[in-house]
Structures are given as C-alpha cells and as structure tokens.
Structure 1
Amino acid sequence: MTTQQANATTGTGAPTRGRPAVPWPTVGLLAAALSFADGFWIMSMRGAVGAIERTQEPFLGWLRESAAAVPVFMVAVLAALALAVRWFGPEPSRPRTVIATGLLVAAAGTVAGVVESAASSAWDYVLQLRLMEVMHHNSTADATAELGPATLGLQFAALGYGSAIILATNVVVVGWLVAIRGGRLKAGAAPLSLIHI
C-alpha cells in the first residue's frame, strides 16, 4: 500500500510503504465470539464427563472462563490475520480470499479452543483421580483400578468429539460475522500516522 507521510520540516510528503496496522475492533469481536462459543461447548463437555466439583453454577463458570480466555483467542486471531496479510494483503477483496482468511481465523480459534478444552479435561481427570483414591479406601482395589483407565479413555473421547464440535462452531461463527459485515473481513488497516494519497 502506497501512502504519503507528512514531512514535519518541509510540509511536503514522500511516498512510503507502511505496514498495515492491526484492526483491533475486528480482532476483539472475533476473539470474544470464538471464546464464548467455544466456552459453551467446553462447559457442556464438563457437565457430561467432567469432575463433579466443577459442574456447579455452569452459567457463571461459562461467563468467567470465557471472559478469561478472550486474550488467548486474541493472540490466535492476530496470528491468523498476520498470516492472511502476508498471503492475501490487508483487505482481501475476492470471495475466495475472504473465505480463506475466515478459515484461517476459524482454524486458529479452534487450536486455542482445543488447547483450553484439553487443559480443562486434564484438570477434570486429576480431580476424578483424587475422588477415586478416596473410593479406594471404601471399596475393593480391583473396582477402583479399572476406573482410572476408563476415565482417561472417556476424557480422550470427549476431547476428540469436542474438538470436532469446536471446529464446526468456529467456522459457523466466523462465517456469520463475516456475513454480517457484508462479506468483508479486514486483516489489516492503514497506519493511523499515515495519510492516504
């Protein structure tokens, strides 16, 4: 992008080549939408296979954890948009490049969502193992010994299904937001310090 930067001493401008600035409203909107959508599924999986101690107050837990995860999703969206700027330019105009940029954002959001889901599942498993240790003192050793591998397998299965659901959700959320914006998705914006010719 060719821009003109004002020269403070002469009042004239010289054409310069500037790097696109980050479109923060777009990044914030995408990150918040992905975080809260993925957080819903993570909370749903926790209610199905998670530790019972963490299933209390699911709505407040979803709000709190989703809000806390927004910065992680912002990093993921920034990485996807930086890659899109490099491949397609700051403002993809053709439908194919808009779709590719949207898929990059959805994929990056999915990575963040799966990492968050895996961390949640790991903590659930630790809590479930603690509960099994307590049960071990009150029952036969054979019954509790079988529960550990079964619980781990259940957590892995839930993570696998949850990852597919998170990917599908992220594609729908990003597509919906791009459609609301008239089929446009800015990967970058002109630097504020630069004046367009």
Structure 2
Amino acid sequence: MYTPPAFREDDLSALHATIGAARLANLVTAGAEGVMATPLPLFLDPAEGSRGVLYGHLARANPQWKAASSGEALAIFMGPDAYVTPSWYAAKRETGKVVPTWNYVAVHAHGPVEFFEDTERLLAVVTRLTERHEGGRAAPWAVGDAPEGFIRAQLRGIVGLRMPITRLEGKRKLSQNRSAEDRAGVRAGLAASDDAADRAVAALIPR
C-alpha cells in the first residue's frame, strides 16, 4: 500500500482498533491459478504472536482454500472513508488551486494463511464470530440456540482459516497534508453530511 509519511500509522493498538472495527475484510492470495480474493468477516486474537492472529472461515466450495498460495496472504481492512470536495478548502477561495480527494483509514495485514477442517476448532471460530457480531443486540442470537445436529451439519460446509500476522501496514489519510484552515473546512463539511461514514471521518480529522 502506497503510504506517504504524513498518512502512515504504525501504532499497534491503533492498527488493531481499525481491524476490530471493520465488519468485513478481503482475504487476498496469489498462486498458479492467479490472484483470488474473498470478502470475509474475520476476528483478531491480539494475544497470539507479536502482532496478533486472524481467524475466520470460508465456504468449503470456495476454491481459494485449496489453491496453493505463493508467498503470504493479505487481509485488507477498511475503516471509514469519505469523498472530499475542494469546495470545503479555504485555499479554493484564495487561489483556486485545489482538486477533489478521498479520505480513508485502511490496514493491510500480511501473513501465512493456514486452512483447517477440525470440527471443534471450526465451532470455536464460528462461536467467537457470532458473539462478536451479536453481542451488541438487545436479544443476541447464540450458536447454542440452534439444534446441535444442525450446527454440526453446517460446519461441514465451511473451512476455517488462521493467519498469524507477520507485517501490518496502516494508513490514515485524513487531510493531514492540508492547512489547519482547510482541515477545518473538511471537518465541518463532513460533519454536516447525512452520511454516517462522512461524520465518522469528520471526527478523525486532526485539528
């Protein structure tokens, strides 16, 4: 990922926070069959290894898990993003020398991916993913709410994945390269938007 110094994020806790907040990631692998990518919900276990370990699952029918991968896999996590119009810049009124851009937060996690079929490990992954996404609901659904035989049958249709993270790249492109006046204009413009993602980005713009 191309990351100019002004936008680089190296803090491990901040990188983990972006991963934790992402609802969906893209798992990318490359091999003799070419590049393959699958959108997947993944969760991070930060206590494993020096940078954490990612877990998830994909459909057994998905050919990605059977394809031999050359080199490490890549998991892409996107945070909030927003279009930035030049109309919000103070510089537009002063010089007119401005163009549109896009603000966003992204983390790229690299590491060797391993796939597994063990039923108990799969159940543990599915349970943790479910608890993560159901936890905030007033009446959360639990894996145990479904008949055990039904769940066991469902597990036969998926394959688990484990990806120890060897390298993390973080990028926070949030108008840091603009003047304080331009950043204030971007912040105000995004904060006034009806789009929740725009407002999320507004809260991240440095003052």
TM bin (shorter chain): under 0.3
Larger relative CO (CA 8 A, sep 6+): 1 or 2? Answer: 1
Task: Please identify which structure carries the higher helix content.
Answer: 1
Q: Which has the higher strand share?
A: 2
Larger radius of gyration: 1
Output the TM-score relative to the length of structure 2.
0.24
